[in-house]
Amino acid sequence: MFKILFEKLKEAFASVLPVALIVVALSFTPLVDFSTKELITFIISAIFLVAGIGLFNLGADLAMTPMGEQVGSGLTKSRKLQLLVSVCFVMGVLITIAEPDLAVLAEQVKNAVEPTLLIVTIGVGVGLFLLLSILKIVFKKDLSAIIIFFYMVLFMLGMLMISFGKETFVPLAFDSGGVTTGPITVPFIMALGVGVAGAIGGKHASENSFGLIALCSVGPILALMGLVLASKGDLTYELSVASYSIDASLGANFIPAVLKVMKEVAIALGLIVAFFLVLQFVALKLSKSKLLQIGFGICYTFIGLVVFLTAVAVGFMPVGFQLGRELAEMPRVLVASGFVIGMVVVLAEPAVHVLNKQVEEITDGLVTKRSMLIALSVGVGISIGLSMLRIIIGFPIIYYLIPGYFLSLGLSFFVPKLYTAIAFDSGGVASGPLTSSFILPLAIGACSVIHDGGDSILSYAFGIVAMVAMTPLITIQVLGFKAIFSKWIKNRMMMRRIQDADDEQIIDFV
């Protein structure tokens, strides 16, 4: 166990270190002016963030992944479709409520939307689309057609929000799709898909197990758009600079802040555990050893979440916000910094390395881990750089999202379905914990200086998570197209050599 924990801590250290080094390096330049207190708090928070992510990831491996597999395979084998989809809906809602990335996002928009309402609405969206994803596997439906249909619906709803004067909430809606598929949701949903596809079997079982994350990223966007359109009156946003202060969670405020986090995490995980225990007694009947493993995993998840969310609130969000405010005075530096930070953030995400290895194995080396890593790194760097440029100029996020998604959906017609499924799944992988806890506050800080605050922050700062989540959709499919095209060229050349060799042969008739 300690060996596995050590590996998880190493992965978390590699995830946090690049961003921490950039912040510390910038603090020694004339570009930013951090106080000693801010710098020390940030460094200590980075250490605790490593511990939190490491413990949390270990807990996800011990609890969330096995729970997903057991629920998926166990209920599928029961041959009770209604029970399977009902359970998947409830688990989708509960897992989303416990998602730390979503809690960080909700905290940053609490002045516009009540956090509990936001989280529950997004949870319902995930639950409904997890249900839809399971039906896709059971009835073996084409993912590309479903994705294209729902993204067309998304863009129509986005246009409707603009016509109703609620366009400021479009970036937040698309961000919700990126943060929902975070470190607690992804292992569970992917394991659930593997469990259901494996139990059903069939020629394309491995291919059918992909695509759940893609569909579950659509659900929150639709749900939040529906909430905004159904709301009466004007929804407004007002920036609370005090909530990004380094002193907001220090000193006398530290213990109350930690207790608040512990209470929220205990409620979220408690709901998951209670529902899973009901399933255990009614349908699953797992062994005591498996239940003990899941129990330990839940404990690790609880401790990791508390440490992670506390470190984010104390150090990373305030420093990210302050860094954005100071870099905003130099627009070119802001765009360049966004590009560099984007590159190192995606390089450091442990889930990205798992994805790269998975793609290399599935494609039999046609797409290498190195090419994947470079493509994702440059792509995410460009997306954050473009997001910073959008903050400076000030134009709707839809000008980026519509061309980007049309390109990614267009590519789905020219690459194998497996590449499309992996690409759309990987959007949630790229937008990891550091995106919502550091990059989003950085964008909010920059926008608060460049614009007048208020609704302009919702319009221009939010949407950056959606940009990060959109990048893999394009890069992975482009790599897939390149790999297939290279293979076709290679086969053509091989056939030509064979034909040339045959032309030179002399055949004797005896």
CA distance 168 to 148: 24
The pLDDT value recorded for residue 162 is 87
- Contact (Cβ atoms closer than 8 angstroms) between residue 388 and residue 380: no
The pLDDT value recorded for residue 61 is 84
The pTM score is: 0.85
The pLDDT value recorded for residue 209 is 66
Give all strands (DSSP E) within 142-204, no chain letters: none
Contacts of 343 (CB under 8 A, 6+ apart): 377, 378, 380, 381
The pLDDT value recorded for residue 425 is 76
Of 470, 466, 473, nearest to 170 by C-alpha is: 466
The pLDDT value recorded for residue 435 is 84
The pLDDT value recorded for residue 349 is 64
Q: Which residues of the chain have pLDDT under 70?
A: 201-209, 233-235, 347-359, 361-363, 453, 499-510
The pLDDT value recorded for residue 472 is 80
Please give the DSSP secondary-structure letter assigned to residue 286: -
- Contact (Cβ atoms closer than 8 angstroms) between residue 393 and residue 315: no
Q: How many residues does the chain have?
A: 510
Of 480, 475, 275, 259, nearest to 380 by C-alpha is: 475
